Amino acid sequence: MGAAFFPILFFTALWGAVGIGMPIMTPSGPHQNLIRCILMLTAACCWLFWLCCYMAQMNPLIGPKIKLNALAMIAKSWDNPLLEG
C-alpha cells in the first residue's frame, strides 16, 4: 500500500497557495518583507509536518499490542483455535 496521489497533491497545492500566493497579496508597508517571510516559513513548516505525519502512517514503527487473554477470547468467538508456537 503506497501513498495516495490526491492527498499529497491537495495539501501541496494548499500550502503552495499559502507560501506562494499569499506573499504576493501582502499589503505594502514597512513590514511587508517580514510578513512574506512568515507566510513562506509557515507554509513550508506546515507542509513538511503534514508530510512527515502522512508518510509515518505508511509504515508505522509501532503496531497495536493485544493481550493474550483478549486474543484467546477473540479466537474462541471466531471458532479459531490458537496455535501454540
pLDDT of residue 79 exceeding 90, the answer is no
Residue 22 lies in a domain: yes
- Tell whether 84 is covered by a domain: no
Domain total for the chain? Answer: 1
Tally of CA atoms within 13 A in the half-sphere of 13 that contains its CB: 6
Tens-place pLDDT, residues 6-55: 999 999 999 999 999 999 999 999 999 999 999 999 999 999 999 999 98
Q: Is 9 within the bounds of a domain?
A: yes
Place of cell 511587508: 32
40 found inside a domain: yes
Tell me the C-alpha distance between 79 and 3, whole Å. Answer: 36
- 30 located within any domain: yes
> Does 85 fall in a domain?
no
85 pLDDT above the threshold of 70: no
How far apart are the C-alpha atoms of 82 and 72, rounded to whole Å? Answer: 7
Give me the pLDDT at residue 47, please.
96
- The reply to whether the predicted model has a pTM over 0.75 is no
| Residue 5 to residue 10: CA distance in whole angstroms | 9
Between residues 3 and 15, the one the model is more confident about:
15
Task: Name residues whose C-beta falls within 8 Å of residue 75's C-beta, 6 or more positions apart in sequence.
Answer: 81, 82
Domain that holds residue 45: 5-77
pLDDT at 62: 80
